[in-house]
Structures are given as C-alpha cells and as structure tokens.
Amino acid sequence: MLYRRLATAALLLALGCGQRDGSCDPGKSYTCYSGPSGTIGVGECRAGSYLCSSAAKPQPCSGEVAPSAELCDGRDNDCNGSVDEGVTNACGGCAPLLRQPGDSCASCGKYVCQTKETVGCQAGQANNCGACGVPDVQGLGQSCTGPDGCPGKTACSPDAGALAACSAPKRNNCGACGAPDVQGLGGSCTSSGCPGTFACSDAGTGAVCVSTQLNNCGACGQPNEPDGDSDGRGDPCDNCPSTPNPTQADGDSDGKGDACDNCPSASNSSQADSDGDGQGDACDNCPAASNPSQSDLDSDGKGDACDVCPAIADPAQTDSDSDGKGDLCDILISELAAAGPAGNNDELVELYNGTPSAVDISGLKLQYRAVAGASYSTVATVPPNTSMPARGYYLVVSGGDAGYSGSTSPDLVRTNSSDAGIGLQLAATGGHLRLGLPGIASSPDAGALVLDTLGWGAAIGAEGTPVAAPTFSAGESLERKANASSTAASMESGADALSGNNRDSDDNLQDFVVRGARQPQNRLSPSEP
C-alpha cells in the first residue's frame, strides 16, 4: 500500500499540480482527484485531469472515478481493496434467495446452496408414517374389523409414532358401512302411480318407494296382460304389439310406435309404402323407387335412386332433354385429341352442354388414367365462376412447347408452371379421360361424381367398349355423335354437322366417331342444335 501511495505522489509531481490558491499556468494540464487519500488506483478509482485557462484558472476536473457504494457486480466500487463485501447473499450471489440455507423443507430435508443464486431441498429420511428421524411403524395395512362390524385397515397414529387402532367406518340406519343415515324412512310415497312407503334400498344407502306393482298395461295390483313381443308392454296397450318397444315412443303421434312405424317422423297411420322398401310414402324421398337407405348424396331432398342428378343439389329435378340426366350434370365430353400435327402435346378436350339452359361448371375436373392404370390423376380444373352456354361448348387445351395448334381459341389452357412443355399428358395410343364433379377423388369407382368417361385404344375402364385410337398426329380426333344414326361423314359435313353432340348410350364405341380433321368449338361458338 505504501508503494502505491509513493507512486501516486510521484505521478502528481510529474504532471504538475496547480497552486493552492487556485492559480495555475495557462494552457498547462494538471492531475485532479477528490477521493480519500490512498484510493487512487485501488479498485475502480482513477485520477482525472484539468486544463488551466488563459486566465490562469483551473477548468473542471475530467475523467475522475471516486469511490462509490459497493454493488454486487464483481468490482471494487468503494476502492477499499475488497470486492462485493457486504452485498452478497448467503450463497455468495447477488439475487435475493426465496429460502435460506439451513431452513427446513419437505421429506425431512434442509435447504442448501445449489448455485450462488439458488437453493434446493436436500431430502432427509422419513419413516413409513412420514415422521422424521424415527423407525418405521410395523403392521400397517392389515385387515381388521371395527366396533360396528365394518371392515377396516390398521393405520398410522396421528403423531405417526405408533400403530393406531383399527380404522373402520360405522353403519348407518340402514346397516350400510360408511354411509350417512337415510332420511324419510317409513313415509308415504307413490311409485308408477301406485301408493307405497319409503324403505331402505338393497344397498342401504338410500330410500326406495315400496308399493303395489303396475301390470304391463299400467294398472296397479292387476295381473299382466299377454305380451307377444316380450317388451314388458301388454298387447292391449302396446302400439307395436309385434315389435319390442318398451318406451312406446311415437314421435309423430299417429298411434303407430316408432319401433314399427315405417315413417316415424311423419304421421302415416295407414303405413302406405308404394315401393315396398320399408320407408313409408309420407317420408320416402323416392316413394316410387325402392331405396331403403334413403341415400341422398347431394342433400336436395330427392333420393339417389330417383334423382336425375344425384351429386348436385337440384330440388326442381330439371331434365330439359328428358334423357334421365338432370341439366346440372348433363355435361359430356364431345371431342378429344390426345396428340396432333404439332406433336404429342398438341392436345384438346371439348365439352358439350346439351341442355337448353346455361350451366355453372365451376370446379369440374378432367382426370386421366393410363390404359391399365390403377387410379386417375386430375389434369385440369375449371376455374370458379365459369358457365357453359345452353347447347354450347367449352374447350380445354395443352399449352407450352408444341402445345395446342388449333385456330379456335381455348377457354382453358393447361400448362405446368415448372415446365412449359407439360400439358394434359394424354397417351395417343390409349387411355381414359374422365369428367367429374368437384369432389371427385382418384379411385376408378367414383360413383355419382362421374359425369362422363371416354376410353380409347386398349382402355380397360371405358363406358362399354372403348373406341379404337385414331391417328391423332394426322389431325384426327374422336367426336361424340349427335344421335344414334350419326356417322363420321354426317358429323363432319352432313346432316348432323350442326346437331350438337348429345348421343350418350354409355357405350363409347357406339357414341363416338373418328373425325378425319378435328374441329374444336369453344364458349363463343354458335350453339347446337
């Protein structure tokens, strides 16, 4: 310490200290320090300096660090040669401790320092009754019988020091062990309309009304009536005497119990069922067509068995062309080219609306399946807010490199954003093209969600027999007939050229012809017929 003070004095002399009377040499720098003697250079304390002004007056001291209150920061703030003295916690850290070392904690333990900032419980040893520092109590948990004859177990005494007497419940006023007394015994009561008296239940934990019994038709104290369906309800008062229905539920109040009512939600006392499917005419969504399950895929109130468009809701059941298929789902594939003069990607698919009304086709999907493929993949989806005109067309083509080369403008161009050369990707030698409703999946068996399927070449899943694959690369295409007698010649330039494409016998071979030169149409094309 003496050496440090001598060194400090030497430093002050070397720098040149100002005069005691406040005068100094103008322009000269002086050392300054306001802390106690002997603290310069100790801990955080440092001397400062000041500059003498032109008027020979000292300027304010700058850069000085004097002693300050000690903080818990790993530094000697008060410059006494010690660090963090008097401000640390009991574990040597800075944070307040929630518990102090040595305090008691659970399981007969004591708190000990874990780190400078935390304490933890160091468990001790408790006996089997939770007492600290005494031996285990023997014989706990053995069966015993209490004064009321109720079974119990030996248990720890309250002070956990010795074996307690048998711990067992008492009996209530009905003889049940451990249950509260039952109130109201002996009072009058009524059970199922018959008078009686309250008595202990079989378990002894409650009161039950003991009375004369109702017979199976609700009469007190009378013998039971015949019960043919063994449902506990006598035949003279059973609303379903041949079908068990113990609750006698009759939701439509027509006198026929729900269990045997062929229309339990609609009154039909006559039980009329014209189609014999077990569903009464009053509630049958297809009263003239058998449909026991009442399946209604589109939830339009018309059962699938008689719905002209089972997958699209159409309560009006509009079928303008009387072909058995409702207008909302009467959209067909009318022309197909799986390749063309410009190459394999020169593809087109034309759709036809054979009804006299415009139809919203938003979300309809075109799906492709290889000749022997296990499932379909979606190759195009009609955008939202798309309508096909009455007796009109919709044209989908492939885009990208060597894509569609026709002069008729497409309504939808199918391209892949990652490769402009990929379009519909139909195989020219054979395959399946399917038109489906928005919810259609990839399974070949998609049921009512399939609107139309065209198979060509060696397709195994065509409608009826597949059509032979034409020479697509030469500009040929497959076109749906206008009627049963249509031919390639009549469709190209003959009597049926402007008669539409509404032939649909569900047999591709009978419904399509091979055109020598494809002639696609779009939504702007004239309606046909």
Element (H, E) at 350: strand 348-353
Question: Would you state the pLDDT for residue 418?
Answer: 45
Cα–Cα distance list, 419 to 208, 365, 397, 403, 416 (Å): 81, 21, 16, 12, 5
C-alpha–C-alpha distance, residues 364 and 380, integer Å: 9
Question: Would you state the pLDDT for residue 160?
Answer: 61
C-alpha–C-alpha distance, residues 184 and 288, integer Å: 62
Q: What is the 3-state secondary structure (H, E, C) of 465-508?
A: CCECCCCHHHCCEEEECCCCCCCHHHHHCCCCCCCCCCCCCCCH
Question: Would you state the pLDDT for residue 163?
Answer: 67
Q: Are 56 and 40 in contact (CB under 8 A)?
A: no
Question: What's the chain's length in residues?
Answer: 529
Query: Structure tokens of 5?
Result: 């003070």
Residue from 39, 44, 36, 33 nearest 83 by CA? 44
Residue from 278, 279, 251 nearest 267 by CA? 251
> What are the pLDDT digits (tens) for 200-249?
999 999 999 998 888 999 888 889 999 999 998 999 999 999 999 999 99
C-alpha–C-alpha distance, residues 520 and 529, integer Å: 16
Band (pLDDT 50/70/90 cuts) for residue 181 is very high
**Sequence-separated (6 or more) residues with CB below 8 Å from residue 78:** 43, 67, 68, 69, 70
Band (pLDDT 50/70/90 cuts) for residue 416 is low
Phi, psi for 299 (deg, rounded to 5): 55, 40
**Pure H helices in 285-390:** none
| % pLDDT > 90, the chain | 60
> What are the pLDDT digits (tens) for 360-388?
999 999 999 999 999 999 999 999 999 99
> What are the pLDDT digits (tens) for 249-287?
999 999 898 999 999 989 998 899 898 988 988 898 998
C-alpha–C-alpha distance, residues 336 and 514, integer Å: 10
Question: Would you state the pLDDT for residue 387?
Answer: 95
C-alpha–C-alpha distance, residues 440 and 447, integer Å: 9
C-alpha–C-alpha distance, residues 87 and 74, integer Å: 11
Bridge partners, 198 (sequence order): 209
C-alpha–C-alpha distance, residues 433 and 461, integer Å: 10
> What are the pLDDT digits (tens) for 119-146?
998 888 888 887 787 788 888 889 999 8
**Helices and strands in the chain, H and E counts:** 3, 23
Please count the other Cβ atoms lying within 10 Å of the Cβ belonging to residue 147.
10
> What are the pLDDT digits (tens) for 56-105?
999 999 999 999 988 888 898 999 998 888 788 888 888 888 899 989 88
Question: Would you state the pLDDT for residue 208?
Answer: 94
**Sequence-separated (6 or more) residues with CB below 8 Å from residue 260:** 239, 240, 242, 243, 245
Band (pLDDT 50/70/90 cuts) for residue 13 is very low
**Sequence-separated (6 or more) residues with CB below 8 Å from residue 29:** 15, 16, 49, 50, 51, 52
Q: What is the mean pLDDT of the segment spanning 344-366?
A: 94
Question: Would you state the pLDDT for residue 22?
Answer: 66
